[in-house]
């Protein structure tokens, strides 16, 4: 199937084709997990005025560290679009990208820290406002 | 650690992200479970997953794969200033043939949420995590305060490995969800410790 500039992919339902924002580029940073942390650099914040829409929105959102998934959700962008744009901003040093270590699932120390951390979270007030039915 | 390809002394150092996956069939309580322990309202983003057409009888054919955009629900818990746990509710488990590698890669483990009245809805998720050799536990959601079947019957029906924990939980209870996630992590820890001991013995 053609995916040229005049032909939207058949399975795209959005009125705005997501990858228009990336000039059609895909999968540049596809190996970055969704929880990868991104944070704006001083250069990035200083260059806000010169950045285009989505790049600018990402930098503004990332004054404090966020995951790629959070950036995508907040800006209502496809996760893969954010991956590509974050890669752009990393290359221009407007954003630092902190990918998680690849082998943490077999890291005894990390697992112990997560278990201890979970056991310590306050849960007594956590169940009051949760809806009984699921939305998915 | 999480060093970038260049150093920027001005940027803030983010926490180390880790993630777990909450899987299960449609409407089984995944998003409710995420919401119960998440410190933020669960967010939704569009992500791509791969759907593999099931033509498995014909080995001469290359599996036909298509990419599907799905809604991905997630939340997070800051465990300490340097460690943040993300919880992803993986979509589409009510259909066979989905590959959630994009979401699950690198996860510490998975919780497969089950409605005991609709056990077969969770088969794709159980099958997937078994194939990935990812630590997981089966969490039978308590609807209306009771289980339709005892846990032993659920275990027998799912035919999961003896090491896979099968627990009951209430997706609306933070304590219950938290404890179920810890069960998964303890299995992961046991596996990791065993692997480390075996490596040290070589």
Domain carrying residue B59: 16-201
Q: Which fold has domain A18-120?
A: Arc Repressor Mutant, subunit A (1.10.10)
Residue B1 lies in a domain: no
Residues B84/B16, Cβ–Cβ less than 8 Å:
yes
Residue B166 lies in a domain: yes
CA distance A128 to chain B (A): 8
- CA atoms lying within 13 Å on the CB side of residue B165: 22
Predicted pLDDT of residue A26? 60
Predicted pLDDT of residue A74? 96
Q: What is the mean pLDDT of residues A94-116?
A: 93
- Please indicate whether, in this complex, the C-beta atoms of A42 and B10 are within 8 angstroms of each other: yes
Residue B8 lies in a domain: no
**Number of domains chain B contains:** 1
Is the pLDDT assigned to residue A129 strictly greater than 70?
no
> Which residues in chain A are closer than 8 Å to B71, comparing Cβ atoms?
136
B194 at interface of A, judged by CB pairs closer than 8 A? no
Alpha-carbon span A55 to A70, nearest angstrom: 15
Alpha-carbon span B8 to B190, nearest angstrom: 38
From A38, A36, A66, A40, select the one nearest A51 (Cα to Cα): A40
> Which of the two residues, A70 and B58, has the higher pLDDT score?
A70
Alpha-carbon span A59 to A40, nearest angstrom: 5
Alpha-carbon span A107 to A104, nearest angstrom: 5
Interface of A with B in 39-78 (CB under 8 A): 39-43, 64-65, 67, 69-70, 72-74, 77-78
Residue B4 lies in a domain: no
- The CATH number assigned to the domain holding B178 equals 3.40.50.300
Residue B3 lies in a domain: no
Residue B5 lies in a domain: no
CA-CA distances (angstroms) from residue A122 to A13, A110, B23, B153? 41, 20, 24, 33
Exposure string for A75-110, b = 16+ CB within 10 A, e = fewer: bebbbbbbbbbbbbbbeebbbbbbbbeeebbbbeeb
- Please indicate whether, in this complex, the C-beta atoms of B17 and A37 are within 8 angstroms of each other: yes
- Bridge partners of A11, per DSSP, are none
Domain range list for chain A: 18-120
- Please indicate whether, in this complex, the C-beta atoms of A134 and B71 are within 8 angstroms of each other: no
| ipTM of the modeled complex | 0.88
> Which residues in chain A are closer than 8 Å to B50, comparing Cβ atoms?
none
A16 at interface of B, judged by CB pairs closer than 8 A? no
- Please indicate whether, in this complex, the C-beta atoms of B193 and A108 are within 8 angstroms of each other: yes
Predicted pLDDT of residue A35? 96
Predicted pLDDT of residue A128? 41
Alpha-carbon span B70 to B87, nearest angstrom: 16
Predicted pLDDT of residue B94? 59
A109 at interface of B, judged by CB pairs closer than 8 A? no
Beta strand B136-141 with B166-169 is parallel
Q: What is the mean pLDDT of chain A?
A: 79
Beta strand A66-67 with A37-40 is antiparallel
- Please indicate whether, in this complex, the C-beta atoms of B32 and A72 are within 8 angstroms of each other: no
- Please indicate whether, in this complex, the C-beta atoms of A65 and B12 are within 8 angstroms of each other: yes
Helix (H) or strand (E) holding B50: strand B43-52
CA distance A100 to chain B (A): 6
């Amino acid at each position: 199937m053609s995916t040229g500039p005049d032909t939207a992919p058949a399975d795209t339902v959005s009125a705005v084709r997501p990858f228009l924002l990336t000039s059609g580029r895909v999968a540049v940073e596809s190996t970055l997990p969704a929880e990868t942390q991104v944070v704006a650099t001083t250069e990035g914040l200083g260059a806000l005025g010169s950045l285009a829409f989505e790049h600018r929105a990402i930098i503004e959102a990332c004054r404090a560290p966020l995951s790629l998934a959070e950036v995508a959700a907040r800006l209502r962008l496809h996760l893969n679009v954010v991956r590509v744009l974050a890669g752009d901003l990393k290359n221009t040093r407007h954003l630092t990208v902190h990918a998680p270590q690849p082998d943490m699932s077999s890291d005894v120390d990390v697992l112990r820290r997560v278990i201890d951390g979970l056991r310590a979270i306050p849960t007594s007030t956590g169940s009051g406002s949760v809806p009984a039915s699921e939305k998915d | 650690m999480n060093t970038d390809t260049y150093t920027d002394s001005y940027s803030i150092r983010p926490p180390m992200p880790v993630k777990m996956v909450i899987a299960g069939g449609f409407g089984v309580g995944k998003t409710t479970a995420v919401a119960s322990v998440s410190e933020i309202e669960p967010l939704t983003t569009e992500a791509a997953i791969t759907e593999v057409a099931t033509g498995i009888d014909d080995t001469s054919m290359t599996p036909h794969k298509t990419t599907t955009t799905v809604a991905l629900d997630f939340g997070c818990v800051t465990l300490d200033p340097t460690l943040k746990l993300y919880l992803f509710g993986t979509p589409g488990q009510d259909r066979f043939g989905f590959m959630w590698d994009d979401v699950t890669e690198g996860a510490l483990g998975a919780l497969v949420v089950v409605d005991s009245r609709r056990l077969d809805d969770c088969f794709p998720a159980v099958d997937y995590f078994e194939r990935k050799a990812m630590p997981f536990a089966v969490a039978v959601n308590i609807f209306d305060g009771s289980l339709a079947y005892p846990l032993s019957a659920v275990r027998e029906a799912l035919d999961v490995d003896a090491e896979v924990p099968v627990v009951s939980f209430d997706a609306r209870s933070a304590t219950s969800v938290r404890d179920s996630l810890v069960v998964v992590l303890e299995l992961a820890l046991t596996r990791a410790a065993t692997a480390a001991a075996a490596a040290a013995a070589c």
